[in-house]
Structure 1
């Protein structure tokens, strides 16, 4: 493997870590403009992170290692998953290890770390948020697996770079019934996994409805900065995975410096469009009631199951 593959891996991690707060700021700015407000600016999440990093770390009395390790584990697992998922290139030194199950397991590990941290605090809000988060995760993770698995059947492998490369060379797969069902199911799963409307509202602290915020209420200073950065990275990663699977054009599929140089620009453009669309939808949508969330996620799981069935039939399986 030449230096292009290593540069692609480093570039993916740098783009996601550095661009995740910018994506969050862009979405807040779009939402503010649609609501008739000026907004704080695209760079506000970076300013908040720098401010939190300068503060004194505070750990609640009685918490154990699960609470202290969760922020770093959340960022680390997301960074590893970012290195595996083909966001800029499908030809990297780690592409052979970028299996669907491995990537989903890394995302689930970050979710589990936050849930354990919420339980470790011993507070009512922490336990409530952890319980809700694991309920959502139990429905979201199978949906992600089945959605991508439906796309893996034409490629004959669960290796995500191979799936993306196959979709880039055979775009007709994406317009098939299986592809359309899979994108709908995966889009709902991404909204739930990242705690966006209609599943959760990231901008509220109403105790009766919050899920993610309930688990991280006890964090402060640098730990809170890592938690916020990890959440922003997960949003960027999952939106990037969605764009790579269903809009794979612009991703370098060969060892070319020219293709790799263009890939970050097109990746940023796709994320800006997805972020703007998501922010616009959040202005128009209302958060569903908490007891309706399992029904919504069960519907997305059914769509993913139908996508697998359609892919099985359309690919001439015996």
Structure 2
């Protein structure tokens, strides 16, 4: 029962902190660009306003358009509760498996891409096509990057990998670990739609990917899509932090340990979010036809990490 409570606390924490991470990143970018920027809680205010509005469904939209926000949010909540953010002891160890987590993230991506196609608009189809092209390279990279760590642990369970890294840092801080961290960082930026792969601050036809698929959403549906998108960014940043900076994660469900782990987790998210936002100020968006080259490079880094981990094991 305590493990289920921990999973629920994790899901609530990620859902509550995710919009604040977006607000922090926007604030950091604004300050570095010499602008005043919005407040830290502005994304929460936007979500509250959108949740009060009725959704508008296009006349040509079908069940995929209606179901996509719920599927996207459900998969995000499930991953947030199962992944080892506060404790390495989860209620369903099989759900925290590497393949299952990546599969759930891909399910949300496919649901949103189908929703973009379901509207029958040019923008939705364009965004869905670009999103699936990116996903075809990102998801294998996520698998390879974490699999490079799992080969030294002997398990693909994320909780076991984090626990092994916390007790034996030599399993993480290796040349293979450095390659895996680089591959996972690039895949995180691509999966979350951040620069240099996508620019969430623009609605230009030649550049947008995620925004093109959600242009037809409004009201509560748009709130769920944007909330889930911020949660997916937080989920990936949290995995990146705990897999390669595994300290501070509790090994059980003791209240004091969970409170400490929650504080450490928020600090890690703030540091990584600020670092990503600061990097976006000095990085230009790649041309669309250059994005596969970047993602192919990250895939090669993940493959080299697996080979190095197997050889040096």
TM-score normalised to structure 1 length: 0.97
How far apart in 1 are the matches of 2:100 and 2:54? 35
Once the two structures are superposed, the pairs formed by residues 131-150 of structure 1 within 5 Å of their partners are 131-150=129-148
Partners of 1:41 and 1:157 in 2: CA distance: 42
Write the deviation string for residues 27-48 of structure 1: whole angstroms up to 9, x where unpaired.
1011111111111101100000
Shift of 1:173: 2.0
Distance in structure 1 (CA, Å) of the matches to 2:95 and 2:58: 39
Out of 210, 213, 216, which is 2:214 matched to?
A: 216
In 2, Cα distance between equivalents of 1:226 and 1:255:
30
1:241-276 alpha-carbon deviations (Å, 9 max, x no partner)? 111100110000134322112011000000000000
**Counterpart for residue 90 of structure 1:** 88
Secondary structure class of the residue paired with 2:172: helix
Q: What is the aligned partner in structure 1 of residue 112 from structure 2?
A: 114
Deviation at 1:11, TM superposition (A): 1.1
Post-superposition Cα deviations, 1:47-90, rounded to whole Å, max 9, x if no partner, equal 00011111121101110000001011100001111111100000
**1:264 matched residue in structure 2:** 262
The alpha-carbon deviation at position 153 of structure 1 amounts to 0.5
Residue 226 of structure 1: aligned partner: 224
Give the alignment's Cα RMSD to 1 decimal.
0.9
Alignment of 1:21 onto 2:19: yes
| C-alpha contact (below 8 Å) 2:88/2:160 kept by paired residues | yes
The match for 2:159 among 158, 161, 176 is 161
- 1:192 maps onto 2:190 in alignment: yes
Q: Which residue of 1 aligns with 2:28?
A: 30
Structure 1: runs of 5 or more not aligned: none
Aligned to 2:67: 69
177, 180, 185: which one pairs with 1:179? 177
**1 CA distance for matches of 2:48 and 2:71?**
20
CA distance in 2, matches of 1:107, 1:282: 24
Structure 2 residue aligned with 1:170 = 168
The residue aligned with 2:234 is 236
In structure 2, C-alpha distance between the alignment counterparts of 1:153 and 1:124, rounded to whole Å: 44
Q: Which portions of structure 1, spanning 4 or more consecutive aligned residues, are displaced by more than 4 angstroms?
A: none
Equivalents in 2 of 1:108, 1:93: separation in Å? 22
1:194 is displaced (CA, Å) by 0.4
Offset, 1:175? 1.7
Aligned length: 313
Displacement of 1:96 after TM fit?
A: 4.0
In 2: Cα distance, 1:229 partner to 1:162 partner: 29
